[in-house]
A and B are shown apart, each in its own frame.
Chain A
Amino acid sequence: NAGVTQTPKFQVLKTGQSMTLQCAQDMNHEYMSWYRQDPGMGLRLIHYSVGAGITDQGEVPNGYNVSRSTTEDFPLRLLSAAPSQTSVYFCASSYRWGGDGGNQPQHFGDGTRLSIL
């Protein structure tokens, strides 16, 4: 069971370039999300999805796009990279909140380390 898989693990971009960070999960989780991690700031939510075809903005969505065409995949796109987007990006997934079951644990990938020059 692979869990949450993120690719690539490392990437260096020049300002203005575009790229897509890939995230795939094999646990049939409805909920998927993207976070960025910066020193001293914890993890901040960029975008999230509660199921195929449904996405919404998190705390820091500017400069990023997402789509969710399948349950398994949730790619994050940088359309025009900026130095401020240098960060470590994490994808996470979980089952949806459900009544008496309450919130479900979120599972994280090992991240993509992105540098924008």
Chain B
Amino acid sequence: GENVEQHPSTLSVQEGDSAVIKCTYSDSASNYFPWYKQELGKGPQLIIDIRSNVGEKKDQRIAVTLNKTAKHFSLHITETQPEDSAVYFCALNLFGNEKLTFGTGTRLTIIP
């Protein structure tokens, strides 16, 4: 199956600074790239997604970029706030396939 590598595994950021999490993949048939936020004791919650025909997508303080040539996509969080502290997962689908493959997660801690 498809492999997704996610880095870093932990990230500490001063409140107000930016955070960047990167994922790389190998299968060029990968088509859909969602990012999930998981808070303690909860299930993953979709925060932003991007499709393979788009290079960047923004939603307020959150943005995702996709480089299909290099086969990587990144989550950018600007002006970080304490409530951004959580575990973040990247994931992807292959074209025409609902099965999600997840990265191993990044624990983001925002330091007040």
A residues apposed to B, CB below 8 Å: 4, 31, 33, 35, 40-45, 48, 50, 58-59, 90, 92, 94, 96-97, 102-111
Bound Cα distance from A108 to B34, whole angstroms: 13
Cβ-defined contact, A43 with B44, below 8 A: yes
Known contacts A33-B99, A94-B98: does B104 contact A105 (CB below 8 Å)? Answer: no
B111 interface residue per 8 A CB criterion: no
Distance from A56 Cβ to chain B, minimum over Cβ atoms (Å): 9
Task: Scan B31-42; emit 1 where CB is below 8 A from any A CB, else 0.
Answer: 110101000011
Q: Residues of A contacting B51 with CB < 8 Å?
A: 102-103
Please give me the 6 A-B residue pairs with the lowest Cβ-Cβ distance, nearest first. A103-B32, A108-B43, A42-B102, A42-B104, A43-B102, A103-B93
Contact B32 A110 (CB under 8 A): no
Within 8 A of A (CB), among B23-67: 31-32, 34, 36, 41-46, 49, 51
**Is the CB–CB distance between B44 and A105 below 8 Å?**
no
Tally the A-B contacts, defined by beta carbons under 8 Å.
Answer: 64
B103 pairs with A105, CB closer than 8 A: no
Whether B42 and A110, one on each chain, are in contact in the complex, defined by CB atoms closer than 8 angstroms, is: yes
Interfacial chain A residues near B42, Cβ < 8 Å: 110-111
A43 with B89: CB separation less than 8 A: yes
Given contacts A43-B89, A90-B43, A110-B42, contact A102 B102 (CB under 8 A): no
Contacts of B89 in A (CB 8 A): 42-43
24 cross-chain CB contacts under 8 A: A4-B43, A33-B99, A35-B102, A42-B6, A42-B89, A42-B102, A43-B100, A45-B101, A48-B99, A50-B98, A58-B99, A90-B44, A92-B100, A96-B98, A97-B96, A97-B97, A102-B51, A104-B98, A106-B46, A108-B36, A108-B44, A108-B45, A109-B43, A110-B41
